[in-house]
């Protein structure tokens, strides 16, 4: 059986695919002879990714890259030039590349995780009459899902509220967002060693997605001395900002004993992330679907700061769906102030039982078996 995956290339697309791949391998229980005769072959065709493609290769996936052109909806001199280059060169080439790869690989099925990088692959699958499935991460369906909703076999969704115009509910399968099961295996003791934690104050984990988040970073820096008086901080700040943030933190934190409570890191790999999750009392994060379902599955209280520029404001809508039962607090304004964020943090910690209530609500929202359900469906679809 040949299964070909495609997605936009960011962590939000790649990590759920990895979760599904691991479940496929787990369910593909055959003798060595059966595996030789009828192997499970896994492929990925999509745009280049700084992090994701190597992770896929580590899972034994055969990776092929294509150009990933996109149409930018904001207008600046740079974006106009980039749009011209993408429309005239990258996008046409990406369709040719995708079509050639699919003709050569001849997959039994294609699984699309969305994002502009998946569009040429799903389009080629449709034209070549290769059955394909889609997974919609966000509560608001993206462009790829809307365009190919009628021709896909099934649309898996992260959120129960997701609806697609003129598409029967029988075609939509609410599963949740696939998460890597390893995140459940974190250890507080290992976290203490990895991050050199003092563990004398509550731990706050700050996440900005795989690339960090500039606004969140700036807010945290402005309130850092005040925060470190009461908390110990693990801060994923993005590869490009680590040195700058370290230098700024040393300047603004006057007390030597406080700087030891601050632990910035450029990017948390899978091993580090699971231990950071286990150690944290509160998580401050963007509101991508992957982050929300990770937080829900480990049952941690959170403050979500949606990315205001997100397409169709989907991060804010994701966040409010998650927070509706009390699992999280949402700060939706375009420019949340350090004072407001600090007040919200202190409010959560000052109210007796608040952390426990938020934790229970997060667990109630979680869908830990999403990857297993999707993998089972894909295997049975042949």
Spans of all domains in the chain: 2-177+368-380, 181-365
Strand order in the sheet with 109-112: 62-65, 41-46, 2-6, 109-112, 132-136, 155-157, 172-174
pLDDT number for residue 34:
58
Q: What is the pLDDT of residues 236-295, one digit of tens each?
A: 988 777 888 888 888 898 888 899 999 999 889 999 999 999 999 999 999 999 999 999
CATH architecture, domain 181-365: 3-Layer(aba) Sandwich (3.40)
- Token pair listed for 219: 């807010």
Q: Which position has the token pair 């984990």?
A: 205
Calpha distance 355→27 (Å, rounded): 37
**pTM confidence score:** 0.91
SS3 42: strand
The answer to whether residues 139 and 321 touch, using CB atoms and an 8 Å cutoff, is yes
Q: Matching CATH topology for 2-177+368-380 and 181-365?
A: yes
103: left (phi over 0), alpha (psi -120 to 50) or beta: alpha
- The b-or-e profile of 206-232 (16+ CB within 10 A means b, else e) is bbbbbbbbeebbebbbbbbbebbeebb
pLDDT digit of tens for each residue in the chain (382 aa)? Answer: 999 999 986 778 899 999 999 999 998 876 565 566 568 999 999 998 877 889 999 999 999 999 877 776 667 777 778 778 777 888 899 999 999 999 999 999 999 998 888 999 999 999 999 999 999 999 999 999 999 999 999 999 999 999 998 898 899 999 999 999 999 999 999 999 999 999 999 999 999 754 557 888 889 999 999 999 999 999 998 877 788 888 888 889 888 889 999 999 988 999 999 999 999 999 999 999 999 999 999 999 999 999 877 677 889 999 999 999 999 999 986 667 899 999 999 999 998 899 999 999 999 999 999 999 999 999 988 7
The C-alpha angle 85, 88, 89, rounded to 5 degrees, equals 75
Domain 2-177+368-380 part of CATH 1.20.1260.10: no
């Amino acid at each position: 059986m040949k299964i070909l995956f495609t997605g936009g290339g960011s962590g939000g697309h790649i990590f759920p695919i990895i979760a599904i791949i691991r479940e496929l391998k787990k369910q593909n229980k055959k003798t060595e002879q059966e595996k030789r005769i009828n192997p499970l072959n896994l492929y990925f065709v999509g745009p280049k990714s700084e992090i994701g493609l190597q992770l896929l290769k580590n899972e034994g996936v055969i990776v092929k890259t294509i150009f990933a052109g996109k149409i930018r909806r904001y207008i600046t001199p740079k974006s106009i030039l980039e749009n011209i280059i993408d429309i005239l060169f990258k996008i046409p080439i990406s369709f040719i590349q995708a079509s050639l790869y699919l003709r050569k690989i001849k997959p039994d099925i294609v699984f699309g995780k969305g994002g502009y990088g998946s569009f040429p692959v799903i389009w080629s699958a449709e034209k070549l009459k290769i059955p394909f499935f889609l997974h919609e991460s966000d509560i608001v369906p993206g462009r790829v899902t809307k365009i190919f909703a009628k021709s896909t076999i099934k649309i898996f969704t992260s959120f129960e509220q997701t609806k697609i115009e003129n598409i029967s509910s029988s075609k939509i399968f609410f599963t949740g967002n696939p998460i890597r099961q390893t995140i459940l295996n974190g250890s507080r003791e290992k976290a203490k060693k990895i991050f050199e934690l003092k563990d004398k104050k509550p731990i706050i984990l700050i996440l900005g997605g795989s690339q960090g988040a500039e606004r969140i970073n700036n807010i945290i820096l402005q309130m850092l001395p005040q925060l470190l008086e009461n908390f110990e901080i693990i801060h994923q700040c993005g590869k490009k900002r680590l040195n700058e943030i370290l230098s700024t933190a040393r300047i603004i934190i006057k007390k030597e004993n406080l700087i030891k409570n601050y632990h910035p890191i450029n990017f948390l790999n899978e091993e580090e992330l699971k231990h950071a999750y286990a150690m944290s009392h509160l998580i401050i994060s963007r509101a991508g679907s992957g982050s929300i379902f990770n937080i829900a599955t480990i049952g941690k209280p959170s403050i979500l700061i949606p990315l205001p520029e997100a397409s169709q404001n989907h991060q804010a809508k994701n966040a409010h769906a998650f927070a509706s039962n009390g699992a999280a607090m949402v700060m939706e304004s375009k420019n949340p102030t350090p004072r407001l964020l600090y007040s919200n943090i202190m409010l959560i910690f000052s109210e007796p039982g608040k952390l426990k209530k938020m934790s229970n609500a997060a667990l109630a929202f979680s869908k830990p078996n999403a990857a297993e359900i999707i993998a089972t469906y894909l295997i049975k679809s042949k």
